[in-house]
Amino acid sequence: LTGVPREQRAFQYVLARAVPGDPRHVLLAFDQWGCRREHLSNLGPRKGRIVERLVQERAPRAVLELGTYCGYGTVLLALGLPPGARLYTVEADPRHAAVAEKVIRLAGFGEDIVELIVGPSEEVIPRLKEKHGLLRADFVLMDHWKRRYLRDLRLLEAHDLLAPGATVLADNVIFPGAPHFLQYAKTCGRYRCKVHRTSLEY
């Protein structure tokens, strides 16, 4: 009714309640909004713990996120980065990217740590090396359109953007589902697969 998009309403809520420069407080404010006000397609706290644990275990130097949305997953990933590491996050929707940019900076992460790239993943991935300096990613989080998971994984392979032993973490592969991506990952012989059982956000 207000004409203000849901994501912008959520950001105004976070801005009014979160402590600037405190990433965990920013995430908590988002979780409060998602639980009490309106649903957002963030990772949420339960899946967030899986992401956080894996980032801590792998200690990646270069991280790629496909699907920034409001920046929740970006902040979560940036929290676990070791010193000197860099995160590249890609968002196709300029409106979502505008919100995410403010969220990322509110959480205290500058452009030296997190680079937000606006554009369709199929256009961004081929130019990650030359234009953005991402030689190879040690950790990839896919949280964009599920039907694009397989296409973008193949693009990452084709452009030699996956470091040896890289971790590729894909959200919502069971529901709403990414069956072709799962089948490829399990049968192509390049990956060892594990499904993490969890619930939907909020």
If we measure between CA atoms, which residue out of 80, 93, 79 comes closest to residue 25?
79
Instruction: Exactly one of 7, 101, 152, 171 is catalytic; name it.
Output: 171
146 catalytically annotated: yes
122 catalytically annotated: no
Instruction: Exactly one of 42, 138, 146, 152 is catalytic; name it.
Output: 146
Name residue 89's amino acid.
Answer: T
Write the Ramachandran bin of 9: left for phi over 0, alpha for psi from -120 to 50, otherwise beta.
Answer: alpha
172 catalytically annotated: yes
Residue 147 DSSP code: G
152 catalytically annotated: no
Instruction: Exactly one of 31, 65, 152, 201 is catalytic; name it.
Output: 201
- Any idea how long the chain is? 202
Q: CB–CB of 136/165 below 8 Å?
A: no
Backbone angles phi, psi at 60, to 5 degrees: -70, 145
Name residue 78's amino acid.
Answer: A
Instruction: Exactly one of 7, 65, 101, 172 is catalytic; name it.
Output: 172
Instruction: Exactly one of 143, 152, 186, 194 is catalytic; name it.
Output: 143
Catalytic amino acids? 143, 146, 171-172, 201
